[in-house]
Amino acid sequence: MSPDPLPLPTLLVIPTGVGCAVGGYAGDGLPAARLLAAASGCLITHPNVMNGASLYWSDRRIHYVEGWALDRFAAGELALAPVAGRKVGLLLDAGIEPELRQRQLQAAAACRATLGLAIGPVVTTDVPLGVGLSLGPSGASWGTLERPDALLRAGEQLVAAGANAIAAVARFPEDPGSEALAAYRHGDGVDALAGAEAVISHLLVQHLGIPCAHAPALAPLPLDPDLDPRAAAEELGHTFLPCVLVGLSRAPDLVSLAGAPLAGAGWSSAQRFAAATGALGSGPLLLASALGAVVAPATALGGEAVLACAERGVPLIAVQNSCLLQVSAAALGLEVLAAASYAEAAGLVLALREGLDPAALRRPLRPWIELPHRSATPAGSDASAAT
C-alpha cells in the first residue's frame, strides 16, 4: 500500500458581503471547506467561510485565520503557527442591552461547560461602539464604527489580562421589516452585516497581532416558514457566538516574518527563536511559500490574497460561484484552473497533491509548447564578456 501523499497547503477565499451563492450566508461554505481540507490535507481559510452562527465544525486540518491576517500571510509577511488551544477573551459592546448581553455570556458559559473551551476574561467597552451599516456602489456590504478607540482599548485590556485571542460582540443596528433582510433570508441578497464585521476584526488583529473574530448582537427575528436553508443557521438561537469561540479556540499564532512579533503579541525571545527555526507551537510554521493552490470564486479574483498568490505562480483554481463582483481571470490576465463547483475544485487540489497535471485529465489534451532553437555562440566570441 502506498503512503498517503504529503499535505498540499491550500488557501480558500470566499469574499465577505458580496452575495456569493456558496459561502455568502451563515456558514454555508463549510461543506466546501471540509471537502477541500480532506483533498488537500491542510486548508487555510477565514471566519466568513467557517462561521455558522450556532453551528460550527472543528477540523485540525483547517486553519482559521482572520481576513486581514490572511492577506498578510498570502503576501509572505507573516507565518502561521498551529497551537493546541487558546484562551479566548470575550469583548462585549457597551451598547448591548442587558438581556441580550446575558445571552452572550450564557453562550460563552455553554462553550466552556459543553466543549471545554478556555474562555475569559470578559470586558465591556467603556462606551458603545456605534456600528453603522451601509452598501458600496457595487451592492457589497460595508460598515463604520463610531468609537474604534473604545474597541482597541478593550482589546488591549484583554491581552494584558492574559487572553491570546479575542471574540468581539458588537450591537448591530436592526431593521426587521427591511426588503434587504427579507431578500437575504429568502436566499437572494447580501449579508448586510459582513462588511462591518470585517472592519471590527481587521482593526483588532492589525492592532493586537492575535487571532480575533466577531459575532453580531441582534434580537431574534420572527419565524419565517419560507426561510432559505443557507440563512437558517442564524435563526437557531439568541447569539452567533458559538462558532466564533470554536474557531478561535485553535486559530494559529500569527508570526511576523520581519524579525519581530506583531504588535501586542508579547512574544519572548525564545518564542521568536522558535518561530525562526520553524518549531513554534504544536507543529512547523505554515509559510505562504509552501502554498500549493488557492481556491476563489471565478468572478472575485481581485482580492489581495489571491493576487499575491498569483504573482508567485501558485496554481489558482477559479470556481463558478456567482456574486456581485465581476473581476475575472480574463479581466486580470491571469491563468487559472477552471472548476464548475467546489467538488470539482477538490478534485483539482487532489490531482495537484498527487503530482498529476490537471490538464492531463481533460480532453482534448492541450498541445505542448515547443521552444525554438537557441542560436549558438559565434566562434571566437568571449562568452564571459557579458558577465
Phi, psi of 154 (to 5 degrees): -65, -40
Residue-wise pLDDT for 171-194, tens only, equals 999 876 677 788 888 888 788 888
Instruction: Please report the sign of the dihedral spanned by the C-alpha atoms of residue 344, residue 190, residue 201, residue 334.
Output: positive
Q: What is the pLDDT of residue 177?
A: 64
Nearest one of 2, 39, 44 to 286, comparing CA atoms: 44
Q: What is the mean pLDDT of residues 81-92?
A: 97
Report whether 292 contacts 352 (CB < 8 A): yes
What pLDDT does residue 270 have?
Answer: 39
Residue 166's beta-bridge partner residues? 89, 212
Say whether pLDDT at 264 is over 60: no
For 292-338, what is each residue's pLDDT tens digit? 999 999 999 999 999 999 999 999 999 999 999 999 999 999 999 99
pLDDT tens profile 151-171: 999 999 999 999 999 999 999
Domain borders along the chain are 10-276
Per-residue pLDDT at 387 exceeds 50: no
pLDDT on residue 269: 38
Residues whose CB falls within 8 Å of the CB of residue 16, separated by 6 or more in sequence, listed in order: 46, 48, 67, 141, 191, 194, 195, 197, 198
For residue 339, the cross-strand partners are 319
The whole-number pLDDT of residue 275 equals: 45
The amino acid at 340: A
Residue-wise pLDDT tens digits, 341-373: 999 999 999 999 999 999 999 999 988 889 998
The predicted pLDDT at position 107 comes to 96
DSSP 117-179: -EEEEEEE-SS---EEEEE-TTS-EEEEES-HHHHHHHHHHHHHTT-SEEEEEEEPP--TT-H
What residue has cell string 458559559? Answer: 109
Amino acid identity of residue 223, one-letter, is L
Instruction: Render pLDDT for 210-234 as a digit per residue (tens, 0 to 9).
Output: 999 999 999 988 889 999 999 898 8
